[in-house]
Amino acid sequence: MAFLIGGANSAADTGYDIDNSCRFNDGDSPYLHITPSAGNRKTWTWSVWIKIGVPGVKYGLFACEYGTTAGNSDRQTLRLTSSGELEFTGQGSNLKTSNLLRDHSAWYHIVFRQDTTQSTDTNRMRIYINGTEASYASSNYPDQNDDLGINSAEQHNIGAEVSSPASGHTEQNFFDGYWAEMYFVDGSSLAPSSFGETDEDSGIWKPKDAKDDLTFGDEGFYLEFKESGVGTASSSTIGADTSGNDNHFTSSGLATIDQCTDSPTNNFATLNPLIVPSDDNAPTLSEGNCKVATSDNGSYGGLSTIGVSAGKWYAEFKYITASADVRAVVAVARDLDPFNTSDDSLGQDSKSLSYRSVDGNSYNNNSTASYGDTWAANDIIGIALDLDNSKVYFSKNGTWQNSGDPTSGATGTGALTASLSAGEFHFIGCGDVTASYSETLSANYGNPPYANSSDAADANGYGAFEYAPPSGYYALCSKNLAEFGG
């Protein structure tokens, strides 16, 4: 079972928290790399939590190229296939799951363990997902006592595969999404229970404090992503090893903003890459599904992976770029109804409410009304959604429009003061784009893909916003949902 948004609530406050993650945007060719001394090439364990970004792409997870001879078969790779299977391959051996990882709102815990000393071949390579051994669609196990590529004295990559040596050792198939709490244990093949446990109340698989109980071995490492520095390997950069071994990784294609607080113990909303109208051009998502580009008659962008039906919630959208004749909007939408119709833009039906860039108007139930200022590139639009009082408020660069006061529960929001029907509401940033035009917005549900001038958290200390959330409003994350029943 995945560590899901709703199911995570009861497991959110159990005494152990993962504070940080690292966001990989495949368009930046990101990866971490290290060239270790030779370790145990027969026996090891790799454990990590991942949250997947763009779907339908092959991703390298952990890879090593052993040797430099063209056609060399000693490369070993752990990957996520474009169909969502996990695959364990190297030196003619292969193990592929029939389980598919396709939930882009969830954190998954995966464990790869190897022990070629085992007499039973099925114990030599094993894969686990959220504490349970996977089912396998195909398998070809290594011979007993084989030395495989990982843990050799060659370059190892996190988040990228390596091409054939004949191609000059080039990184490829870059990961897109988030990493959290990564362990590598040299010399031991460990069950997932060494790193996680089942919550006794919810039945959900969750991480546990494991560091002090492990013997890492000489080449073992533990990446917590607690540092935001990038570049050369050190204890102060994002690839810092905190196992005590100082096996630090060098980063490439990462920036300080890629250190996040979205984690398996506090799952934040992102934009959902799977929900777009069938009659509309699909948007392009990037930056861990926190940036959306629409083009060529696209009318929709990204729907938040977390929906809420009660409480008070806050998010921000930054308008990045746009062509001429583009009408950007930020909106809230009830349920998924606007995504199941052929409406021209959000606000055309009664179940979506938007604030438009080109004229500053609100748009709801196919009716526009004078609302606020126009907005353009680099402006930041805030949304305060008050479901306790059925109100929505929009701000431009920290100023609430139409004399609205989100803390009042009642003040003037123009056309948006009408009561909203009950349902599950999502935050959306998108555009109404005619042919040959395009635009880009970034969504900040608490982990922005851009640098703020000052990071402001909600009253619970969650999120990093340009402008402080109004009193009583909270970031869309699982810990807040657990407390406020969204």
Residue 237 has pLDDT above 60, yes or no: yes
Last-in-domain residue among 201, 227, 260: 260
Stretch 278-291: mean pLDDT:
78
Q: What is the pLDDT of residues 23-49, one digit of tens each?
A: 999 999 999 999 999 899 999 999 999
Residues 331 and 290 in one domain: yes
Q: What is the pLDDT of residue 322?
A: 65
Residues 207 and 66 in one domain: yes
* 266 part of a folded domain: no
* 265 part of a folded domain: no
332's enclosing H/E stretch is strand 326-334
* Whole-number Cα distances in Å, 119 to 144, 403, 462: 7, 74, 50
Stretch 244-260: mean pLDDT:
97
Q: What is the pLDDT of residue 414?
A: 40
Q: What is the pLDDT of residues 171-191, one digit of tens each?
A: 889 999 999 999 999 999 999
For residue 128, the cross-strand partners are 111, 133
For residue 438, the cross-strand partners are 295
Residues 241 and 294 in one domain: no
Average confidence score pLDDT of the chain: 85
Q: What is the pLDDT of residue 381?
A: 94
379's enclosing H/E stretch is none
Q: What is the pLDDT of residues 147-173, one digit of tens each?
A: 999 999 988 999 998 776 555 668 889
Residue 110 has pLDDT above 80, yes or no: yes
Residues 246 and 276 in one domain: no
Stretch 420-429: mean pLDDT:
62
CB half-sphere exposure, 107, CA atoms < 13 A? 32
Stretch 281-298: mean pLDDT:
79
Residue 10 has pLDDT above 50, yes or no: no
- Distance between CA 230 and CA 416 in Å, rounded? 44
Residues 161 and 279 in one domain: no
Range of the domain at 325: 271-484
* pTM (2 d.p.): 0.92
- Distance between CA 215 and CA 242 in Å, rounded? 13
Query: Which amino acid does the sequence have at 19?
Result: D
| CATH assignment at residue 245 | 2.60.120.200
Confidence of residue 388 (pLDDT cuts 50, 70, 90): confident
Share of the chain above pLDDT 90, in %: 59
Residue 9 has pLDDT above 50, yes or no: no
Residues 238 and 320 in one domain: no
- Distance between CA 371 and CA 416 in Å, rounded? 9
Q: Which of 374, 425, 430 is nearest to 397 (CA)?
A: 374
